[in-house]
Amino acid sequence: MRIIYSAEFLFAVSILLFSGSLLISGLIVKKLLKLVLGRRTREEEHSNKSAVGGIWVLLIIGSISLILGSIVHFIKLFGFMPQLAHAEPYDILPLLLTSMKMGTIESLTVLIAGILAFTGGFIYYLLIKN
Amino acid sequence: MGLVFKFVLSSSLPPDVVMWKSISGYTTIIGALFLWLSLFFMGIIAYKYEKALKKKTNWLFIMLAPSGVLFYALIQAYSLIIVGNIKMTANQTWVSYGLFFLSGLFSLLGAWQFKKAVSPKKRRREGGR
């Protein structure tokens, strides 16, 4: 299995870029929520305003999750891959397995970030739809 | 889950390795799709904001910027599910990661532009104070 270090590095940096855009998106939603909820009538205020007012946090948590995913990718890239490249034949399998497990943790962080950010964005969309 | 077992049976690598790689691959594909959808929603939100408040947000750019994530997910799905590779080939890796990177860069740029549109402009103090 050939590992392209520069491409893997590019991928980790990309995750960080997405994390930045989710962070900014969270701040935007926070600002817009103030605008939207501030304009609502008093009757509507009795509904779940406080719960909806916190949906921007979902995007921020998503952003943090992506940062964690990026850290895991960097650990995999600089910690395990060089070991894998110079491993003895009997060491390869355990290292490969650990690397795959770390890859799964990394992809789980992307999944969690995606679900949280989608949920936050979708709830806000439902709020402003009309 | 059936596809995971298909991978396990069809590969010469140990089942544990193939299983973890498959789980990781599928999770990444689904996660990437959710990420694309969430950033696409930001484009819709920007569109609504521009329509309501008549402020330029570049909503189309924000909407199109995360498309690279979709291509990344498609290439990964093609390599993993259709071809049955354990890992993307070098060309697939470069194309998908390159698109993913560009998408991340453009998404960040789009989000930054939208934030600038949403944030009120600071007025200069008159008289240089």
Collect all residues of chain B within an 8 Å Cβ-Cβ radius of residue A34: none
Contact B42 A108 (CB under 8 A): no
Residues 62-121 of B with CB under 8 A from A: 69, 86-87, 90, 93-94, 97-98, 100-101, 103-105, 107-108, 110-112, 114-115, 118-119
Could you list the pLDDT tens digit for every one of the 129 residues in chain B?
A: 444 444 444 556 778 878 888 888 899 999 999 999 999 999 999 999 999 888 899 899 999 999 999 999 999 989 888 888 877 889 999 999 999 999 999 999 999 999 999 887 766 555 444
B21 lies within 8 A of chain A by CB:
yes
DSSP for B41-108 reads: HHHHHHHHHHHHH-----HHHHHHTTHHHHHHHHHHHIIIIII--SS--HHHHHHHHHHHHHHHHHHH
Has residue A39 got a pLDDT over 80?
no
How confident is the model over A73-120, as pLDDT tens digits?
A: 999 888 888 887 777 878 888 888 888 888 899 999 999 999 999 999
The CA-CA-CA angle for residues A1, B71, B98, to 5°, reads 60
pTM equals: 0.86
Question: Once rounded to an integer, what is the mean pLDDT over residues A14-36?
Answer: 93
Among chain A residues, CA nearest to B118 = A28
